[in-house]
Amino acid sequence: MQETSGSAERQLAAGNLLYQAGQGGNAWLLLEGSIRLDRPEVRDESGFAGIAIKGDILGAETMLLGNYTYTATALTPCKLTRWPEGSSQPEPAALLKALSSAERRGADAVAMRCGEAATRVRRLIALMAATSSSRQLSRLMLPALRDMAEITALTIGTVSRILVQLQAAGDLARSETRRGRPRNTALAKPNFL
Amino acid sequence: MQETSGSAERQLAAGNLLYQAGQGGNAWLLLEGSIRLDRPEVRDESGFAGIAIKGDILGAETMLLGNYTYTATALTPCKLTRWPEGSSQPEPAALLKALSSAERRGADAVAMRCGEAATRVRRLIALMAATSSSRQLSRLMLPALRDMAEITALTIGTVSRILVQLQAAGDLARSETRRGRPRNTALAKPNFL
DNA sequence: CGGCTTCTTGAAAAGTATCAAATATAGTGG
DNA sequence: CCACTATATTTGATACTTTTCAAGAAGCCG
């Protein structure tokens, strides 16, 4: 929780919650990392509704509706900042940019559910790689298997098998996998005060 | 072609092209019907990238980039109008509305590729029903099997089998299917002049 | 360490895709 | 107006991919 009160910036560890559907709050610009969006209706099911990567705007709907439509959770470590930066009203040009990146990201999300399992996982990895600086993506910089499975509409087992294949083929850096109990940086821990 | 030159409105028969990726043009508000968006890169493959229904804005990226990012084709008969209506510059509030509906529609597209085949087709039909006035959707108001297959990431055969099931279960109005050669209202026929 | 979670892996089952052929229909041209 | 053609839909049998269900291994945290 390295956040000073009133700061416009925010850091988020992988797996942590940025905001929850229904809450009030401001929009965010994602400076680093990747975030998944989930529809609130579906409780235990996947609920996956979209993804955001570096440069995308999240939660712009609060400026219209007052509260968030989706729940946002970090897939990888994230850095964010309030949006829009200075003014409380975004410029039309900035809104257009947000709109067109939202459309592109929607298309990306659809594409990650298209074709064979290996293709889909490959596409997800490619998207994450666009976020990352290094070209050879390490296993540690990927989202949890569960997230990858829900994004690609596959099962955890299938994603695991495919990652093994990709590592064997040299398409993915072989590295330690992230197991064990996640940090209890609590999905539900309120971030205000 | 009941369009008078300079008119801000436009009609489109099912299967017809509204605009192509790369072209220049204006944004549209979809007044009636539904439209599919396709990424241009993928030639023969599905290429499906998103869907738009009544009330959605299409092609807003032209205001930023100058030309369309996706190719837009009518799934069902459509009525559209230039957007924004009067002014050449859209209001921030209108842009926000476009943005949040784009996100919602992206989530819808993702959801239509989630779960078993029957579930997915059901979701697509539900979305189309939201467009339509009548609650019991007729077979004729649905997109072509090929479109439904590409949207749901299934095959034509599977979709066909599922529609038969839905009709048998009474969840879908049993009606004539739309076969035969489509109108040659040409995908490529230029609409200017 | 003990407990909890994630990841890996196996064998069998289920669901879809494939491939192919038959059927139905709207438009076209004679 | 009718046959003809191109396209859309239905349907069947088989093959393949992925899911299921289960158990075990590996890692983090207190």
| Residue in chain A nearest B39 by alpha carbon | A107
Contact partners, residue A144, CB within 8 Å, separation at least 6: A14, A15, A75, A178
Report which of residues B69 and A184 the model is more confident about.
Answer: B69
As a rounded value in angstroms, the CA-to-C1' distance for A184 and C1 is 20
Q: What is the CA A107 to chain-centroid distance, rounded?
A: 15
Mean pLDDT of A110-135: 90
Query: pLDDT by residue (tens digit) across B70-101?
Result: 999 999 999 999 999 887 788 999 999 999 99
Residue B4: how many other CB atoms lie within 10 Å = 7
Residues of chain B contacting residue A96, judged by C-beta atoms under 8 Å apart:
60-61, 63-64, 95
Between positions 2 and 61 of A, the ones with CB within 8 A of B are 37, 39, 46, 48-50, 60-61
**How far is Cα B149 from Cα A1, in angstroms, rounded to an integer?**
47
Query: Which bases of strand D sit closer than 7 A to a protein CB?
Result: 5-13, 17-22, 25-30
**What is the average pLDDT across A133-152?**
85
Tell me the three state secondary structure of residue A109. Answer: helix
Residue range A117-185 forms a domain whose CATH class is: mainly alpha
Distance CA B166, CA B173 (A): 9
Q: What is the mean pLDDT of chain A?
A: 87
Percentage of chain B modeled with pLDDT above 70: 85
Q: E strand or H helix at B34, and its extent?
A: strand B34-38
Q: Is residue A135 over pLDDT 80?
A: no
- Alpha carbons within 13 angstroms on the beta-carbon side of residue A24 total 1
Question: H helices then E strands: how many in chain A?
Answer: 5, 8
| Distance, C-alpha B107 to centroid of its chain | 15
Peptide bond between residue B84 and the one before it cis (omega within 30 degrees of 0): yes
The CB-based long-range contact list for A176-181 (8 Å cut-off, 24+ gap) reads A176/A139, A176/A140, A177/A139, A177/A140, A178/A139, A178/A140, A178/A144
Interface of B with A in 122-141 (CB under 8 A): none
Cβ <8 Å between A107 and B37: yes
Question: In chain A, what are the domain boundaries?
Answer: 2-106, 117-185
- Closest nucleotide to the alpha carbon of A156, via C1': C7
Q: Above 50 in pLDDT, residue A4?
A: no
Which one-letter amino acid corresponds to residue B64?
L
Amino acid at A89: Q
B111 contacts in A (CB within 8 Å)?
A: 39, 49
Distances (CA, A) of A70 to A18, A38, B128, B160, B181: 11, 5, 23, 33, 43
CB A34 within 8 A of CB A54: yes
| Maximum separation of any 2 CA atoms in chain A, in Å | 50
pLDDT tens-digit series, residues B32-74: 999 999 999 765 667 999 999 999 999 999 999 999 999 999 9
Amino acid at B70: Y
CATH of domain B2-106: 2.60.120.10
Chain centroid offset of residue A191 CA: 18
Q: Do A102 and B97 touch (CB under 8 A)?
A: no
Work out the average pLDDT over B165-169: 93
**Phi, psi dihedrals of residue B111, rounded to the nearest 5°:** -65, -25
CB B7 within 8 A of CB B65: no
Q: Is the CB of B117 under 7 A from strand D?
A: no
Tell me the C-alpha distance between B129 and B152, whole Å. Answer: 16
Contact (CB<8Å) A106/B102: yes
| Three-class secondary structure of residue B98 per DSSP | helix
Å separating the CA of residue A140 from the C1' of nucleotide D26: 15
pLDDT score for B89: 85
Residue-level pLDDT at A105: 97
- Contacts B46 to A, Cβ<8 Å: 114
Q: With bands split at pLDDT 50, 70 and 90, how would you rate the model's confidence at A155?
A: very high
Backbone region of residue A102 per phi and psi (left: phi > 0; alpha: psi in -120 to 50; beta: other values): alpha
Per-residue model confidence as pLDDT tens digits over A11-62 = 999 999 999 999 999 999 999 999 999 999 765 567 999 999 999 999 999 9
Confidence of residue A121 (pLDDT cuts 50, 70, 90): very high
pLDDT of amino acid B181? 77
> Cβ contacts of residue B51 below 8 Å, gap of 6+?
B34, B35, B36, B37, B75, B105, B108, B109, B127, B151
d(CA A103, CA A169): 33
Claim: this prediction has a pTM higher than 0.85: yes
